[in-house]
Amino acid sequence: MSILSGKNILLGVTGGIAAYKSTYLVRLFKKQGANVQVLMTSSSKDFVTPLTLSTLSNKPVLSEFFDKNDKNKLWNNHVELALWADVFLIAPATSNTLSKMASARADNLLLATYLSSKCPVYFAPAMDLDMHKNLANQENIKKLISHGKIHIPVGSGFLASGLEGEGRMKEPEEIVDFIINNIKEELKLNNKKILITAGPTYEPIDAVRFIGNFSSGKMGFSLAKTAASLGAEVTLITGPTSLNLIDKNISVVNVVTADEMFLETKKYFKFSDISILSAAVSDFKPKSRSIKKIKKHNNSLLSIDLIQNIDILKYLGENKTEKQILVGFALETDNETQNALIKIKNKNLDAIVLNSLNDKGAGFGHDTNKVTFINKNGLVKKFDLKSKIDVSIDIFNELIDGFYEKN
Ligand code: CTP
């Protein structure tokens, strides 16, 4: 799935010959699964028709604050448009528009929307060679960069004037790649490898019976989704659940028993930057397993000898490097914080997510959870009951703040 999939993109088109290339930009954004709203200045319509752009974007092109021919005089609200956008691209950005952007002039819908925008704004200038070199233009570009706007520098080649040199707008494919790469770089877990365990484990007794638990896997799957949306490459090792996840940044490894989970976790752990063990691993397994179904009349199921499973979290804590971040989940009922801190120390963890047993809507099977995040530096943060996706966002925010951004 493209990083632009489902994103709302405002494409501002201004009046230069490169405006015809905005048609390709719309096509490319749509191909990536984005929603595109085109805003045109009136002079850009001399270079490309609104009909072409509205057909390609599947939305009426907007240009005026209101349509003079519309009896109802509906207002195109620039503030709403700006808030709708996840990305605002102005391409081509002419000398005229650049100077108005830099000096907060709002004499058309595109500029008013630009001045109201909160999302990342990219601008791709397009001008003739000497016009581009002109100090006033260079200063405007610098000023916009200092305002936090993202400059997509011009390319070099033949210009509409017949001259050759720097000034042409970057090609549409290059602009789309530029934006995709820029968004990725901004993602907080870009280039990070994350390992997550999820779900229950089943420990077979015989051919049909097992020891298991009610874990749904929802918390671990939410963690995987959030990590991927933050740019990480995720490996999700999960026990049996009814959940499905398709995301090109998440590799799902299905296991059944704690031993299988251990083998797979060990395999991926050495490559992982952050490992979060949210699986409800069975602490015990039957000492022996019958290949056949045990008949009830021979009474051998009345008691089952159990042995302990390996503590995967503890093993990872004993084998982790300084740079690796290891997070466990825990269920505590008394002296929660104190016990969690002891566990962090004993198992060499960087943090623990405490699950609440007593709160309604928290824990196994629910779509919501209520957790306390505790890290090895003694930070204790209690969160309200929220959706498991929101809980996973809180967890990653804490990890990023505590272990990456301050380093
Ligand atoms: N875990 C594990 N391997 C096991 C058991 C648990 O990796 N065999 C992990 C879980 O994924 C979770 C954490 O350990 O991250 C839970 O730790 P545990 O000490 O079992 O916590 P509690 O359930 O709170 O257990 P205890 O009764 O020991 O307090």
Could you report the per-residue pLDDT of 235-245, keeping only the tens digit for each?
A: 999 999 999 99
Instruction: Identify the pLDDT of residue 207.
Output: 94
Residue whose CA lies nearest to ligand 1 atom number 9? 313
Instruction: Identify the pLDDT of residue 73.
Output: 65
Query: Among the listed ranges 101-105, 134-138, 240-244, 294-298, which one has the minimum average pLDDT value?
Result: 294-298
Annotate 78-110 with b (16+ C-beta within 10 A) or e (fewer).
beebbebbebbbbbbbbbebbbbbbeeeeebbb
Instruction: Identify the pLDDT of residue 350.
Output: 98
DSSP letter assigned to residue 62: B
Section 165-172 average pLDDT: 94
Instruction: Identify the active-site residue in 8, 182, 213, 348.
Output: 213
Query: Which atom of ligand 1 is least distant from the CA of 328?
Result: 15
Task: Say how many Å lie between the CA of residue 388 and the centre of ligand 1.
Answer: 19
**Ligand 1 contact, 283 CB (< 6 A):** yes
Q: Which secondary structure element, helix H or strand E, spans residue 79, and what is its range?
A: helix 78-84
- Catalytic annotation present for 213: yes
**Ligand 1 contact, 331 CB (< 6 A):** yes
Q: What percent of the chain has pLDDT over 90?
A: 82
| Portions of the chain given CATH number 3.40.50.10300 | 193-403
Task: Say how many Å lie between the CA of residue 280 and the centre of ligand 1.
Answer: 7
**Ligand 1 contact, 328 CB (< 6 A):** yes
**Ligand 1 contact, 262 CB (< 6 A):** no
**pLDDT, tens digit, 9 for 90 and up, residues 110-123:** 999 999 999 999 99
**Ligand 1 contact, 282 CB (< 6 A):** no
**Ligand 1 contact, 349 CB (< 6 A):** no
Task: Say how many Å lie between the CA of residue 63 and the centre of ligand 1.
Answer: 59
Angle at 387 between CA 382 and CA 391, to 5 degrees: 40
Section 75-86 average pLDDT: 90
Query: Which atom of ligand 1 is least distant from the CA of 329?
Result: 15
Instruction: Identify the pLDDT of residue 208.
Output: 95
**pLDDT, tens digit, 9 for 90 and up, residues 360-375:** 777 677 889 999 999 9
**pLDDT, tens digit, 9 for 90 and up, residues 309-329:** 999 999 999 999 999 999 999
* Cβ count near 71 (within 10 Å): 6
Q: What CA dihedral angle connects 319, 325, 330 and 332, to 10 degrees?
A: 100
* 389 has pLDDT over 50: yes
Instruction: Identify the pLDDT of residue 154.
Output: 96
Sheet architecture: strand order including 371-375 = 250-254, 233-238, 193-198, 274-277, 325-331, 351-355, 371-375, 380-382
Q: With bands split at pLDDT 50, 70 and 90, how would you rate the model's confidence at 332?
A: confident
Q: Rounded CA gap, 281 and 258, in Å?
A: 6
* Residue 41, C-beta contacts closer than 8 angstroms, at least 6 positions apart: 12, 13, 14, 15, 63, 97, 108, 110
Residue whose CA lies nearest to ligand 1 atom number 14? 313
Task: Say how many Å lie between the CA of residue 378 and the centre of ligand 1.
Answer: 20
Instruction: Identify the pLDDT of residue 248.
Output: 87
Instruction: Identify the pLDDT of residue 158.
Output: 84
- Contact 101/89 with Cβ under 8 angstroms? no
Section 186-212 average pLDDT: 96
Q: Rounded CA gap, 104 and 111, in Å?
A: 8
Instruction: Identify the pLDDT of residue 72.
Output: 66
* 68 has pLDDT over 80: no
* 295 has pLDDT over 90: no
Residue whose CA lies nearest to ligand 1 atom number 16? 330
Higher pLDDT, 350 or 295: 350
Q: What percent of the chain has pLDDT over 70?
A: 97
Section 138-161 average pLDDT: 94
Instruction: Identify the pLDDT of residue 407.
Output: 47
Please provide the average confidence, as pLDDT, over all residues in the chain: 93
Section 102-114 average pLDDT: 96
Q: With bands split at pLDDT 50, 70 and 90, how would you rate the model's confidence at 70?
A: low
Superfamily of domain 193-403: CoaB-like (3.40.50.10300)
Section 343-350 average pLDDT: 97
| Portions of the chain given CATH number 3.40.50.1950 | 8-186
Q: Exposed (0-12), middle (13-18) or buried (19+): which is 334, by Cβ within 10 Å? A: exposed
* Residue 319, C-beta contacts closer than 8 angstroms, at least 6 positions apart: 269
Task: Say how many Å lie between the CA of residue 345 and the centre of ligand 1.
Answer: 14
**Ligand 1 contact, 279 CB (< 6 A):** yes
Instruction: Identify the pLDDT of residue 71.
Output: 67
Q: With bands split at pLDDT 50, 70 and 90, how would you rate the model's confidence at 384?
A: very high
Q: Which CATH class is domain 8-186?
A: alpha beta
